[in-house]
Amino acid sequence: MKKPIIEFQNVYKSFGSQTVLADMSLQIQEGELFTLLGGSGTGKTVLLKHVLGLIKPDRGKISVLSHAVSEMTEKELLPFRTKVGMVFQNAALFNSLTVYDNIAFPLRELHLYKTEEEVQQVVMKNARLLGLEKYMEKMPSELSGGMLKRVALTRSMCLNSRIVLYDEPTSGLDPILAHQVDEIIYTTNKKFSKTTVVVTHDLESALNLADRIGVLYKGKLIFCGSPDKLKASEHPYIQKFLQNRQCSAYIDND
Ligand SMILES: Nc1ncnc2c1ncn2[C@@H]1O[C@H](COP(=O)(O)OP(=O)(O)OP(=O)(O)O)[C@@H](O)[C@H]1O
Ligand SMILES: [Mg+2]
């Protein structure tokens, strides 16, 4: 069997007295589109940050692209992070840069292209896909939440990373745009075999997009499998959220 591209082995993480991940194990294969579902505050963002080495586990091992991320120093992590793109939940843009410069920033910083003309071509091609071409000279403070999200998505699409992590890519978008973003994520995954991890509350979107779905609950993956298997699951928590069509904090607190 092929070695997984992302692997969590018995990972524990607490903040003070709060346990977020407890003996969490997960394997994601190269090229897979993996969707992670879970109620608010269950640790989905914390899990993604472990993949990038932005958060270190208290115990357990994390391996990404054959790197032992949990054991790497900050200096070793910097070049590693260029291979993993992440679209953060809050967009994480630079407020002092225009939309264009925000999108171009990693391309320039990492010297991915020789000329500014090439950078411009890549930026504009991806900006057009998300309908942002008219907003390139705006500042982030002039944009709506959904537009900021699209800027962050465009920025990640410009990178040729082998893995891309999306934290709630469609939250705050209207249904038509959310559908377009789902299509782009799906197409990029299938066309370029980019390993993709999408964190979402949106069950419908997870069922449509994913090769496999993981459900995070009380620090562990209580389910990991195909959309069809999820629909047939008899786990009481999963049955509840299949009825509600979304993971909610209310269900979590049961
Ligand atoms: N750096 C931190 N320091 C202390 N506590 C943290 C830190 N990061 C996350 N937490 C806590 O860990 C828990 C899980 O947070 P996380 O952001 O991963 O939730 P989530 O599943 O992404 O929720 P949401 O769906 O609302 O985004 C929360 O209770 C949060 O307060
Ligand atoms: Mg989150």
* Residues forming CATH 3.40.50.300 domain(s) in the chain: 6-83+164-252
Q: How confident is the model at residue 211 (pLDDT cuts 50, 70, 90)?
A: very high
Model confidence pLDDT, tens digit, residues 141-156: 999 888 888 899 899 8
Token pair 């692209």 is at which residue? 65
Dihedrals phi, psi of 62, to nearest 5 degrees = -130, 125
Taking Cα atoms as reference points, which of 244, 240, 213, 208 lies closest to residue 226? 213
- Nearest CA, atom 31, ligand 1: 41
Task: Report CA(78)–ligand 1 centroid distance (Å).
Answer: 23
Question: How far is the C-alpha of 224 from the C-alpha of 160, rounded, in Å?
Answer: 28
Distance from Cα 171 to the centre of ligand 1, integer Å: 17
Number of residues in the chain: 254
Q: Contact 136/99 with Cβ under 8 angstroms?
A: yes
Substitution site in 12, 14, 20 for ligand 1 pocket (most atoms within 8 Å of beta carbon): 20
- Pick one of 3.40.50.2300, 3.40.50.300, 3.30.70.890, 3.75.10.10 as the CATH number of 6-83+164-252: 3.40.50.300
244 or 7, greater pLDDT: 7
Specify the residue with its C-alpha closest to ligand 1, atom 6. 15
Q: Which ligand is nearest to the CA of 167?
A: 2
- What pTM was computed for the model? 0.89
Closest CA to 226 of 209, 247, 242: 209
Residue 187 has pLDDT above 50, yes or no: yes
Dihedrals φ, ψ of 242, to 5°? Answer: -65, -35
Is the pLDDT at 41 greater than 80? The verdict is: yes
C-alpha 88/C-alpha 164 separation (Å) is: 11
Residue 166: closest CA among 133, 210, 204: 210
Q: Name the residue at shortest CA distance from atom 20 of ligand 1.
A: 41
Q: Which residues contact 9 (CB under 8 A, 6 or more apart)?
A: 25, 60, 61, 62, 63
d(CA 171, CA 246): 12
Q: Whose CA is nearest to atom 14 of ligand 1?
A: 43
Beta carbons of 181 and 209 less than 8 angstroms apart:
no
Residues with CB under 6 A from ligand 1: 15, 18, 20, 38, 40-46, 89
Give the pLDDT confidence of 82-104 residue by residue, as tens digits. Answer: 889 888 877 789 999 999 999 99
* 31, 68, 109, 196, 236 from 28: Cα distances, Å: 9, 15, 29, 9, 25
Q: Is the pLDDT of residue 163 over 90?
A: yes
